[in-house]
Amino acid sequence: MFQAPNGSATYDPLSGHDLPAEELPLPSSFKWGTATAAYQIEGGAKAHGKGPSIWDEYTHRTPSRTSNQTGDVACDHYNRVTEDIDLMSSFNVDVYRFSLSWSRIIPLGGRDDPINEEGIAFYNNLIDQLLIRKIEPSVTLYHWDAPQALYDRYNGFLDTAEFCADFLRYARLCFERFGDRVKQWTTFNEPYIISIFGHLNGTLAPGHCAQDGFDTKHAPWRVGHTLIISHASVVQLYTKEFKSKQHGTVSIVLNGHFYEPYSQSEADKQAAITRLEFFIAWFGDPIFLGTDYPQSMRDYLGDRLPAFNDEEKALLRNTARSNGFYGMNHYSTKYARALTSPPADDDWTGNIEEGAVNADGTEIGPVSQMPWLRVAPEGFRKLLRWVWNRYHLPIIVTENGCPCPEDSVEAAVDDTFRQRYLGLYIDAISRSIYEDGVQVTGYYVWTLMDNFGK
């Protein structure tokens, strides 16, 4: 349990009071790690044959979508691998979760396109240096940065068959070149974000939104469908061709808030359940249970939601239990409120409003520098229990963390707020394990270094 600055108590951000401390040590097998994403830290945007990704295109648009920040240099990890691993080693981390840049490995991305051996060499060196320092590599194949060429050719995720074929070739190459040393793989990071933020509200690459003429009524659900089928195809590939020799695991990382009802009305209680299903079970049910999308989604979205054909249904059934773990990215909790006004044609929420304050005026928790990220560790504990009860897979917390409330050097140096957040969320893991019976096997803090750092 997290110790407050006086060393004698645990601070509860919801009540604002100190609580008696109680030690609940995590299991000795528990893995501690940190995480990053390729585009956000690597830099080297055109170095040694790397091709452009959708994030390279997105961050260079005029007018700027990213306050004139790009990943051209970022944290310069491409040139500072050794010192970054030294930093990790100084923290005694067990695991480093990082993503590969698809366009650094296959610059044009496609199944018939040339391989960039210098990109392969970069990741081989990274993996080897980690292992020398006794840090386990946990590798994500895709963290939002598809090769731009795939969007130029066939609109990327919007063409399920084409994308799946190209992603399978990329995954196979990675298993062949890195799989002798990498034992933990994830296919996609946060498919919800890829689908909604990338292809509906346009706030992340490739930036598709209705204002620019894109079909936001149907496209996000097609993108989600492509992600699910591509993931299952890669799990099938690894299980059939690589697992017996490499002895690794493959899964996916799903993000999600926990939701509390805005009021005690039955409509708001149901809204909280529905938001969890739209956010997490959208992907979790087909991938981990081998079933259709949640019924709440089918009922609300109708023919906007693609149907799984017989071949896809068989693929999902056959791969559901081959996922080695549940990768959970979680940061905060929100209140869910059922709306009575007619939704927009491209509504993706189930006609539900989410916010930080409930009907009684109670805030879900203290706010960080990001308005949506509030300290609510009890919601985290509830989400761990919800995921465990639904999917019964070991959970790895693949991302969790927060910024300090103020953007200043003084606040960063003081760091009390962030330390309290981390301590309380780690305490929630302990209580989930010992009091709720949830199997949580690791925790990777987000992030090792600032995103788009300079």
According to the 3-state scheme, what is the secondary structure of 370-406?
CCCCECCHHHHHHHHHHHHHHHCCCEEEEECCCCCCC
**Catalytic, out of 136, 162, 190, 378:** 190
Q: Whole-angstrom Cα distance, residue 146 to residue 198?
A: 11
Q: Whole-angstrom Cα distance, residue 35 to residue 189?
A: 12
E-strand ranges in 264-371 read 326-329, 333-338, 352-355
Inter-residue contact 259 to 276 (CB < 8 Å):
yes
Q: Whole-angstrom Cα distance, residue 72 to residue 69?
A: 9
Q: Is 399 a catalytic residue?
A: yes
Q: Is 190 a catalytic residue?
A: yes
Question: Pick from 416, 394, 395, 392: which is nearest to 404 by CA?
Answer: 416
Q: Whole-angstrom Cα distance, residue 324 to residue 326?
A: 7
Looking up tokens 């103020």 gives: 406
Looking up tokens 């992907």 gives: 283
Inter-residue contact 154 to 110 (CB < 8 Å):
no
Q: Per the structure block, which two tokens stand in for 417?
A: 């707020």
The residues annotated as belonging to the active site are: 190, 399
